Structure 1
Amino acid sequence: MKQLVLASALVVASLSSCVSPKIYKDLEARHEALKKTNKSLQDENEALQAGKTQLETDLNALQKNYDQTLSERDKIQNEYNALKTNYDNLKQSYDALEKNSSAAIAKNVQQNRELLAQLEAKEQALAAENSRLQQLKNELEARSKRVAELERVIAQKDATMHALKDAISRALTDFEGKGLTVEERNGKVYISMENKLLFSSGSWSVGTEGRKAVQQLGNVLAENPEIAVLIEGHTDNVPYQGNGQLAGNWDLSTKRATAIVSILRENPGINPENLTAAGRGEFAPVASNETTEGRAKNRRIEVILTPKLDEITKLLNEM
């Protein structure tokens, strides 16, 4: 287009020298028209070029969108194919289940009934076990209370016997070193009095010093009416050589125990029901009978004080 305009200009220039003014003006007018046409064509070309560029951009975007849409279409197609395969498999399974539905349902119903029966049996067994467990729990709680009460009673009895032992020790302190001992063992209080404090050889008559000791013991016992009192007579193994009034050492030990009981009964505060006399002869020695000292220790009266265990026995029977 530019070349056409230039050529026209050259023609006009060459002819201007040899044409008439009228013709020159016509050519010049045509030149101006051509210039305007050229300008219009240039503007149109630029617009077309811009439109082309925009169209190319749109085309690229459409191509990208197309490719993306195609990819999504392929993905959806694959998913559809997978779903179709699953559907076909499920359809086949459903058809097979439907074909055998009656037998399967009947079998399931029977199994459900059996399971329900088993469940009911388990529930009943569980209820029975829970009931038994609750009963055992109640029994355990009740027994725990009785054990606690028993421990309390035993502790109280032990405290009572300890206090009794201390009271007797204080009451008989004047006779310490004269063949008298007081000790506490296994919840009992043992008062041991050698014969030299109580009796002459071969005699069951209590001497003055011994009577005083027994009376002071009786004063303590009178203040403790809940104590059982066992008086045991013991001898050594030397045979009795008396005047024939006694059958032997066992008889002698019994009479000596009875003599102590008689003195204790003089105290009106002592309940006779709490007293027991027993003769052990030479059969419960505390020392060897091979020596004079040992035989002296074996010739003794033992007063054994025991707390009454009625309350403890009752608690034990209830356990």
Structure 2
Amino acid sequence: MKRISVIVLSTLFLTACVSKKKYAALEQDNGELKSELTKTKVAKDELEGKFEAIQARVDSYNSKINSLTEDNNAKLVNVDGVVISENQKVALRESLKKVPPAYLATAKTLKDSMNLAVQFNLKESMDNIEEDDDISIKIEETVVMISISDKMLFDSGSYRISNKANEILQKIANVVNSEESLDIMVEGHTDDKALKSTSSVKDNWDLSVLRATSVVKKLQKDHGVAPEKLIAAGRSFYQPLVANDTKENRATNRRTRIVILPNIDKFFALMSSNE
């Protein structure tokens, strides 16, 4: 009987010890979890604070952007489908004042007025270039086409520019340099007569391109035309003015065509930069 009592007491003692150990472990785990929870809450509060600060900055930037957009929209006007600022509108009106009213009589839209104004100014600028057998000028709307015979610019079969070309190229450069919104394309044209191939000139394609490039380089280097306004193109003999069936006709087809092109987008950009 005593033995049974000892066993029971021992069992109860051991059970109590195990329970206390488990309890202590659970208490420790609970403490650690509470500590982690506290750290997490602190981190969460910090993140929420940072997020609120960022959101406040974003809201501030959006407010400024909306304000600027409203200001800019208030300054923009739509005239005949062309969106310009009030300052551009004023500048355009000042530009149109220089054109005789009769010249603008046929204009129905702002674009018409702009084109006629550019056309008028180009015609005025062309007055210092005289036409003759070697130089012809044609103006179609706002595009000026100046055709120069090859004997005015080059030696026969060559792409090297002669000294006698300086006068006409200087006059053309003066026109282009007088208006920042003008671009210039130089086209080389030949007759259909086959060339004797050399190391630099294989055929009429080469000759037409090299001639156009020579004129472009001359305009840039010696006459101060900005290179970004220049375009060089070779046409070979595929755009003749007349049939290549006589000596005279072939001479007519050997030419350099200089095309002066107004850049309307650049015109508006320049007005914007002057505001």
The TM-score with structure 2 as length reference comes to 0.56
Measured against aligned partners, the alpha-carbon deviations of 1:254-313 in whole angstroms (never above 9, x if no partner) come to: 010011101110257532111000001001111110112211111000011111132799
Question: AA paired with 1:226?
Answer: S
Aligned to 1:167: 125
Same amino acid, percent of matched pairs: 30
Aligned to 1:158: 116
Would you tell me which structure has more helix in proportion to its own residues?
A: 1
CA distance in 2, matches of 1:301, 1:145: 38
Are the counterparts in 2 of residues 222 and 267 from structure 1 also a CA contact under 8 Å? no
Distance change >3 Å, CA 250–CA 147, structure 1 → 2: same
Distance change >3 Å, CA 269–CA 245, structure 1 → 2: closer
Report whether the alignment pairs 1:146 with 2:101. Answer: no
Are the counterparts in 2 of residues 215 and 263 from structure 1 also a CA contact under 8 Å? no
Aligned length in residues:
170
The 10-residue stretch of structure 1 (159-168 or 180-189) with the greater mean CA deviation from structure 2: 159-168
- Where structure 1 has 5 or more consecutive residues not aligned to the other structure, the ranges are 1-141, 315-319
Measured against aligned partners, the alpha-carbon deviations of 1:44-103 in whole angstroms (never above 9, x if no partner) come to: xxxxxxxxxxxxxxxxxxxxxxxxxxxxxxxxxxxxxxxxxxxxxxxxxxxxxxxxxxxx
Are the counterparts in 1 of residues 150 and 254 from structure 2 also a CA contact under 8 Å? yes
Aligned to 1:53: none
Aligned to 2:54: none
Are the counterparts in 2 of residues 240 and 249 from structure 1 also a CA contact under 8 Å? yes
Aligned to 1:260: 215
CA distance in 1, matches of 2:80, 2:174: 37
- Within the candidate set 200, 203, 214, 2:155 is matched to 200
**What is the correspondence of 1:56-205 to structure 2 with a 5 Å cutoff?**
145-146=80-81, 151-168=109-126, 170-173=127-130, 176-205=131-160
Are the counterparts in 1 of residues 176 and 260 from structure 2 also a CA contact under 8 Å? no
Could you say what the CA RMSD is over the residues aligned between the two structures, in angstroms? 2.7
Distance change >3 Å, CA 270–CA 153, structure 1 → 2: farther
Aligned to 1:274: 229
1:161 offset after TM fit, Å? Answer: 2.7
Residue aligned with 1:281, SS: coil
Q: Which has the larger radius of gyration?
A: 1
- Where structure 2 has 5 or more consecutive residues not aligned to the other structure, the ranges are 1-76, 85-107, 270-275
Are the counterparts in 1 of residues 115 and 141 from structure 2 also a CA contact under 8 Å? no
CA distance in 2, matches of 1:296, 1:158: 34
CA distance in 2, matches of 1:311, 1:222: 14
Are the counterparts in 1 of residues 173 and 225 from structure 2 also a CA contact under 8 Å? yes
Report whether the alignment pairs 1:296 with 2:254. Answer: no
